[in-house]
Each structure stands twice: as C-alpha cells, then as structure tokens.
Amino acid sequence: MTDDQALNLPSLPLSAALGVLLDDAPSGLSDPKVALRQVAACGLRWVQLPATRPGLRPRDLDRSARRDLLATLRRNGLSLSGLDLWIPVDHFTDSLYVDRAVAAVAGAIELAGDLGRVPVSLALPGDEDDDTGDAVALDADAVEQMRATGEAYGVRLAVYRADTSAPSGLSVGFDPAVCYWHGDDPLEALGRIESDRLAGVRLTDVDGQGLRVCPGSGRLDLCAFQGVLLTIGYSKPVVLDLKQVNGPWQCLQRALAQWKQSGLSGASFL
C-alpha cells in the first residue's frame, strides 16, 4: 500500500456503548437523551443502546417512541450501531428462565428491526462451564427460535463467548478483554474468525493484572487491532465498551483520539 492510498483509509468508525455511560453518569447525564447529546459532543457519531435499561427496553417503546428515538439520534448526528442485551447466561440453560430469556431476545430483535435492522449483542454459555469444565446444555429449541426470529426480521445476533464461537445459524461477537482473561492473544483469535460470521466487535483493554482500563493504555495494540480488522474486511462500527473502567466519561474522548491516531498505522497491515 502506498502512502497516498493509506491516507484515503480512515480509522474504522467507533461507537459508544451507552449502557455503562448511563450507569456511571454524573448528575444530569442519566437521562438517555441528555447522554446522547453528550456522546455526540465528545465527537462520536455512532452509539450502541442498552435494550435492558428502563426507558429503552422493547416493551417501553411503542411505535411512536421508536420513531422519536430515531429522530433524537438524527438530531444529534448519531447513527445506531446495534443493541446490547446482556441477560445472565445461565438463563438460557435454566428451565425456569429460558422461555423468558428467549422472549426478551425476540423483543430486542423486533426493536432492532424497527431501528434499522441493527445487530443485537448478547452473551450465551459456551459448550463448557468456564469454572468447572462440565458440559453445558444450551437449549437447542431456544437457539432455533432465536435464529428464526433474527432471520425473519433481518437482524443478526452477535454472540459473545470466551471461545469466540457461536451456535449454528448465529453470528460471532468479539471482545479483546475476554480473550486476555482466558489466556488468548486477541489478535490471533480475531484472525481465526471467519469474517462473514463476525457481527460485532468491542474495543476493550486490560492492564498487566487483567483489570479493565481505557483502550490504548493497556495491553491491546490499537494499531495492530485495527490492522487485523481491516485485513479481514471488517468495516462496521467498533463498539467502545468502558464497562468496569474508572471514569468512563473521562475516558471517552481519550479513547476516541487514540483510536483515530491508530487508524492510519492499522491501515498499513493491508
């Protein structure tokens, strides 16, 4: 790649996961509409909404409210990258909760369809329990219902698992911090994923002790990370997830600046 070609390759778009920002919001920013204005003021143009938060849950948003939400995003110059639906993973294996969990996924899929057919991110149990190594029986009927509902609405389900896999018919979500926690190199793990199965990527980072930190200040090489994403042809927004990071609002602009700076170097991997 020539220098002129590289100059024409901006960094991948970055989206802010709004859920953690609302959870850690200072006074006045706990209102989603106010928080969206602040996200836009920080220079981001994409946002990921929490579909489990009161006021943003599918059952809380009728047709009129959904149109109003889209209008609010447009007024702030924001586009929607997807929805986060963080349900406890054991609800998908417990007979007492599985029907409710599947219904929640269906509701989020319908909402995602109305908001532009954006992906829905969720966590599902892996084939084995991370602590005991025992086999986990993920309800096959539940998986099929989720797959069929997603297909009906044209919405992809990005499944986040420690082993970066997903049940047949569902898509993969990728989180670098989770890779570090399980002793894997996120760049190598990302390169092993078939690009057409990848429906969601988080931007997360950890320090030498495995604690979450602002991306760019920990172990993850942002230039190399963007380079791998560009190499495999990923072009969707990468979701900046500041969960468990101290001062997420303060980190927001710093992470965005570092991400943009790393974009040109990352393009040189192509």
Residue 40 has pLDDT above 80, yes or no: yes
Q: How many domains does the chain have?
A: 1
For residues 185 and 148, is the Cβ–Cβ distance under 8 A?
no
* Three-state DSSP state, 171: strand
Q: By residue range, what is the domain housing residue 147?
A: 13-200
Query: With contact defined as beta carbons under 8 Å apart, do 104 and 146 qualify?
Result: no
Average pLDDT over residues 213-241: 96
Q: Give me the CATH number covering residue 65.
A: 3.20.20.150
What would the DSSP string read from start to end of 55-81?
TTSGGG--HHHHHHHHHHHHHTT-EEE
Q: Cα(2)–Cα(74) distance, rounded to whole angstroms?
A: 36
pLDDT of res. 24:
81
Per-residue confidence band for 138, with pLDDT thresholds at 50, 70 and 90 = confident
Q: Has residue 131 got a pLDDT over 60?
A: no
Separation of CA 192 from chain center: 19
Which of 162 and 10 is assigned the larger pLDDT?
Answer: 162
**Is 126 part of any domain?**
yes
Is residue 127 included in any domain, yes or no?
A: yes
pLDDT at site 130: 54
Report the mean per-residue pLDDT for the chain: 90
Residue 176 lies in a domain: yes
> What three-state secondary structure class fits 156?
coil
Q: Does any domain span residue 258?
A: no
The answer as to whether 82 is a domain residue is yes
162, pLDDT greater than 70: yes
Residue 14 has pLDDT above 60, yes or no: yes
Given a cut of 90, whether residue 220 has pLDDT beyond it is yes
With beta carbons less than 8 A apart as the criterion, state whether 44 and 76 touch.
no
- Across the range 224-233, mean pLDDT stands at 94
Burial 129-160 (b: 16+ CB within 10 A, else e): eeeeeeebebbeebbebbeebbeebebbbbbb
Query: Higher confidence at residue 5 or residue 144?
Result: 144
Is 232 inside a domain boundary? Answer: no
* Radius of gyration, CA atoms only, the chain: 18
According to the model, what pLDDT value does residue 11 have?
75
Report pTM. 0.91
Question: Which secondary structure element, helix H or strand E, spans residue 17, and what is its range?
Answer: strand 14-17
Q: Is residue 252 a part of any domain in this protein? A: no
168 secondary structure, DSSP code: T
Residue 18 lies in a domain: yes
Q: Are 33 and 72 in contact (CB under 8 A)?
A: yes
pLDDT, tens digit, for every residue of 66-96?
999 999 999 999 999 999 999 999 999 888 9
For residue 5, the model assigns a pLDDT of 42
